Amino acid sequence: MEIVTARLAIELTGLGQSVDVVCLEETGPVAAELEAAGIPVHLIRTPGVLPNLGPGPLARWFAETRPDVVHSHSGVWLKAARAAHLARIPAIVHTVHGLLTLEPWYSPYFMWLAARFTSRVIPVSDPLNRYLVETVGLSRASTQTVLNGVDTEVFSPSVDIDRDKVIGRSIRGPVIGCVARFDPIKNHELLLEAFALVRRSHPDAILVLVGEGSSREALEHRARQPDLNGSVVFTGDRRDTPDLYRCFDVFALTSKAEGTSMSILEAIASGCCVVATDVGGSGALLDRGGAGVLVPPGNVTALADRLIEILGDAPRRKQLGDIARRRAVHAYSQRTMALRYLSIYRDALRGVSGTRLVSFA
């Protein structure tokens, strides 16, 4: 979500808009990228649930800066929308990026309430759109799906890559990669169990896990077991992910839930063959399997079988990677995403001239 917000802000700036990014708890690692691009980053501390009742500092900041559009992102919807409403901001837009595996009992009510203060609600996938309409109770007219976008020039295929150097070890067999935070919703545990089965057919295969998070210690413990020992690489957070994708023979994402996965978008833009659980918007990204391989969520045997099949079929991997790359360039560029949001802002403003856009990471 933070990466999508940053890329949207940068693209909108390139389209001539004035953009500020506001963080409510901490600025985080993406702030430096934004500031290097000339985009101001502000920290207006409004943490926790209680500020939903009275987001005073945020409302005061909006009243002082007077943006024409406030665009909030998952996790801050109610407090941001109420603060913008109190400050009489003319257009309030919110993007729903995904859902937790177990949403708090009050979550649908908070969403319903936040929508009362929001001009446009933007889910990043059709399944999220259905959730907002069918579970939260929003009208179909108030929601509009906008898929995430990716920089298809930065994330692109390359034949000139030194895999040993990028990954940091000697590579003798196929490489399966995953770029995702270590969180239970990403279900790396499933991937590790499937990979243990894959190694029976491909003993030289390695699994590269890129990211950080609360589950890392447990995952590393599992990776030290005899059936995996020495075959799993934990890289930590990396800024050279375009090169990492180019190292992967297969990109695997085994999430329990997704909106529109940025990792899948980056992988298909890089020409990777993708194997992913069929959750959220992942099926749509992969054209229901026409641009990748879909497996049922939570099914370790099915995942292992598909990975074994695709690792043993280099022409098929190449075909799926080429199809995926063309699909990313055609439908999922971040410029296309930014233009769609800009159209939504203009529609929400209903004739108000000038735009000073504010996004929330």
Q: Which domains does the chain have, with CATH numbers?
A: 2-149+334-360 (3.40.50.2000), 163-331 (3.40.50.2000)
pLDDT at 261: 93
d(CA 82, CA 102): 25
Task: Provide the 8-state DSSP code for 251.
Answer: E
d(CA 126, CA 146): 9
Question: Computed from CA positions of residues 78, 80, 85, 91, in that sequence, does the dihedral angle turn out positive or negative?
Answer: negative
Structure tokens at 119: 């001009």
CA 1 vs. chain centroid, Å, equals: 5
pLDDT at 360: 54
CA dihedral of 197, 202, 203, 204, whole degrees rounded to 10: -130
Q: What SS3 class is residue 30?
A: coil
Q: What SS3 class is residue 336?
A: helix
For residues 16 and 346, the answer to whether their CB atoms sit within 8 Å is: no
Q: What angle do CA 66, 96, 126 make, to 5 degrees?
A: 135
For the chain, which residues score pLDDT lower than 50?
Answer: 361
pLDDT at 361: 40
pLDDT at 29: 83
Q: Token match 């391989």: residue? A: 293
pTM more than 0.85: no
Phi-psi region of 321 (alpha: psi -120 to 50; beta: other; left: phi over 0): alpha
Structure tokens at 284: 């749509």
Q: How many residues in total does the chain contain?
A: 361
d(CA 136, CA 130): 9
d(CA 361, CA 42): 10
pLDDT at 359: 60
d(CA 198, CA 191): 10
Q: Which residues contact 194 (CB under 8 A, 6 or more apart)?
A: 254, 300, 303, 304, 307
